[in-house]
Amino acid sequence: MQSVQLALYNTLSRRKEAFVPLDPGHIRMYVCGPTVYSYPHVGNARSAVVFDVLYRLLRRLYPRVTYARNITDVDDKIIAAAQAAHEPIESIATRTAAAYREDMAALGTLPPTQEPRATQYIPQMIAMIERLIARGHAYAAQGHVLFDVPSMPDYGKLARRDRDDMIAGARVEVAPYKKDPADFVLWKPSADNQPGWDSPWGRGRPGWHIECSAMGEALLGETFDIHGGGQDLMFPHHENEIAQSACAHGGAPLARYWMHNGFLSMNDEKMSKSLGNIVTVRELLADWPGEVIRLALLSAHYRAPLNWTTETLQQAKASLDRFYNALKLARDAGVALSAGEPPTTFLEALADDLNTAQALAVLHEAADSLNQANMAADAPRRRQAAARLLAGGDVFGILRQDLDAWFRWQKPGSAAADDGEIQTLIDLRLAARKARNFTEADRIRDELAARGIVLEDGAKGTTWRRSLGADPR
Ligand code: AMP
Ligand code: ZN
């Protein structure tokens, strides 16, 4: 364990606060996960990547961390998508949940400790709703159960909006069975062709907000350390989670630190399905290595807006090429590479409310040191500098690829030379050299160079890589 003081911006207080865990022996964090009905876009991926860095940092600072990220597999959007595609709900949810896991893994995110699916926690949701009714915070009406917003005096303390604003912002239905226009749904009736579960209020399904309150309680307890999600979830989703959990738990707060990542935009407009300006992670992975997309997502501070451009991706690629190149030079000189401790300044930057841009600057300094040691052919310094760079890479979730594979990466299905063809040309060049046909040997080298392949003749034979800075498009 390294000791640096972690500070996090808490949306509840609108201030950066020293992080004081409830139990330093066991940190507990919940992040709202995807509603599974379509492939995630890179805006959706931002929160998965940002909170993955926080998870990796927490694991370095504390002995045990439980990180829960749910999958919402019952929701009106899924029902609508299933009807439109003539696909069973269960199948669309399972298929897109698997795609989400695959895409997030390609971006280097660790699987969360817990990945609860809402449909597996229906009894816990019903039990929580019953408690809310018993305590006078909810009421049943026409097959629905509603949360009684006026029963909670400090409702709205996270979003800090006034009442009219909240009613307009939540776009809650004005329905005849509501006592107050701000009241929101905990349970609603299901038609025969909709997914439903038996309950004291008839066959129905949960509202979205109660899902997270019930899963958080089941997996992390009544009060846990950190709750995260995208900025747009602050209201009404998180406000309602706070209300449900506090009222079900006799006032105990749901989480102590509330964290929200900013939006990713394209051409200065929020990337969103409804605007139609989305790029899926899958589409990006056809053009760029996952680590490039990941580092591009970490290039801005997590609370700041991030405008997504090809330039952001190119800069991330240039940084990674530089790191991998420094490591490869050391490796090729016979230095054994393994991760050590990251630079303290690197951890301090991340511990300062996840200042990823500053932390990246420290990684560049580590690469500078490694390059200087490479120039001086100083083996112990090389080993040390490489160990620091690799350890920083671990916390960032980068530099995890095989060094040769990194430089040989190309667009999947690309028309450029494949690895087998390159090896054949290298063998032909070797045969030409043995036959002292240097004109032919040089011609082959030039042909490969024109296709972006650089040959490196060394004591152990000829190796190759794709040229640095080559646009992977
Ligand atoms: P949605 O697909 O709109 O239901 O969003 C799913 C999740 O992705 C939510 O947690 C949102 O906060 C997040 N999200 C959606 N669009 C963006 C965006 N452009 N930038 C950052 N996060 C986003
Ligand atoms: Zn949630």
The confidence score (pLDDT) of residue 271 equals 95
Q: Which pLDDT score is estimated for 180? A: 93
Question: Which residue's CA is minimally distant from atom 15 of ligand 1?
Answer: 44
Pocket test for ligand 1, best of 35, 44, 274 (most atoms within 8 A of CB): 44
Residues 352-362 have a mean pLDDT of 98
For ligand 1, atom 17, which residue shows the shortest CA distance? Answer: 43
Q: What is the pLDDT of residue 1?
A: 61
Tens digit of each residue's pLDDT (9 = 90 or more) over 17-49: 999 999 999 999 999 999 999 999 999 999 999
Give the percent of the chain with pLDDT over 90: 82
- The mean per-residue pLDDT over the stretch 177-202 comes to 95
pLDDT at residue 163 greater than cutoff 90: no
Using the predicted structure, report yes or no on whether residue 421 has a pLDDT greater than 80.
yes
pLDDT of residue 468: 57
Lowest mean pLDDT among 69-83, 369-383, 395-409, 441-455: 441-455
Look up residue 157 and give its two tokens: 């303390």
Kindly state the average pLDDT of the residues 245-250.
Answer: 97
pLDDT at 458: 79
Atom index in ligand 1 nearest the CA of residue 32 equals 10
Is pLDDT at 62 greater than 90 in this prediction?
A: yes
Q: Which atom of ligand 1 is nearest to the CA of 229?
A: 10
Nearest Cα residue to atom 3 of ligand 1: 272
Q: Which residues line ligand 1 (CB under 6 A)?
A: 32, 35, 43-44, 46-47, 229-230, 232-233, 263-264, 270-273
Q: What is the pLDDT of residue 473?
A: 35
Average pLDDT over residues 117-138: 98
Pick from 68-77, 388-397, 436-445: least confident: 436-445
Report the separation in Å between the CA atom of 214 and the middle of ligand 2, taken as the mean of its atom positions. 10
The pick from 35, 78, 227, 232 for probing ligand 1's pocket by mutation, whose C-beta has the most ligand atoms within 8 angstroms, reads 232
Average pLDDT along the chain? 93
Average pLDDT rounded to a whole number, residues 126-132: 98
Stretch among 103-117, 190-204, 432-446 having the lowest mean pLDDT: 432-446
Nearest ligand 1 atom to the CA of 270 is 19
* Among 31, 39, 47, 238, residue to substitute to test ligand 1 (most atoms within 8 Å of Cβ): 47
Q: What is the mean pLDDT of residues 158-163?
A: 85
Ligand 1 atom 8 nearest Cα = 44
Ligand 1 atom with minimal separation from the 306 CA: 20
- Mean per-residue pLDDT, 99-126: 98
Distance from residue 27's CA to the centre of ligand 2 (Å) = 19
pLDDT(135) > 80? yes
Least confident of 166-170, 266-270, 450-454: 166-170
Query: Given a cut of 90, is residue 72 above it in pLDDT?
Result: yes
Give the number of whichever ligand sits closest to the CA of residue 78.
1
Question: At residue 261, does pLDDT exceed 70?
Answer: yes
The pTM of this model reads 0.90
CA of 400 to the centre of ligand 1 (A): 27
Tell which wins on pLDDT, 410 or 303: 303
Query: Is the predicted pLDDT of residue 471 greater than 50, yes or no?
Result: no
Q: What is the pLDDT of residue 146?
A: 98
